[in-house]
Amino acid sequence: MAKHNELGKKGELLAREFLVQKGYRIAEANWRYDKDEIDLIAWQGDLLVVVEVKTCSTSYFGEPEEAVDAKKEAFLIRATEAYLEENDLDCESRFDIVAIVMNEKETRINHIEEAFFPE
């Protein structure tokens, strides 16, 4: 596995543990719809939370959350609509980003609630 893929997997595991400690209940990890993937789907009470995890080894070129562009948001929205339909869910949902900078010197987690909204 490529080094960046290993970092991404470690980041997703760390994000999952972080959310569980905050009281979220993880429903799915790496849920796929067509070519799109939702990193984590969790419940916070009655609210469905769709989480994109971005992990980098440095923020030298920008913060990890800056990598979630309009195209990625559109993919996440489309996949979430499919998830809601497939599971016959009628509930409120929210899109979060868990941005992680992880290297030998530090591990920094930034949980951005309501990171973007469907248009």
pLDDT band, very low/low/confident/very high, at 31 (cuts 50, 70, 90): very high
Q: Residue 9, Cβ neighbours under 10 Å: how many?
A: 14
Tens digit of each residue's pLDDT (9 = 90 or more) over 55-69? 999 988 899 999 999
Task: Say what the pTM is.
Answer: 0.93
* Overall size of the chain counted in residues: 119
Tens digit of each residue's pLDDT (9 = 90 or more) over 90-114? 999 999 999 999 999 999 999 999 9
- For residues 72-101, b (16+ Cβ closer than 10 Å) or e, as one string? ebebbbebbebbeeeeeeeeebbbbbbbbb
Which domains, and CATH codes, for the chain?
3-116 (3.40.1350.10)
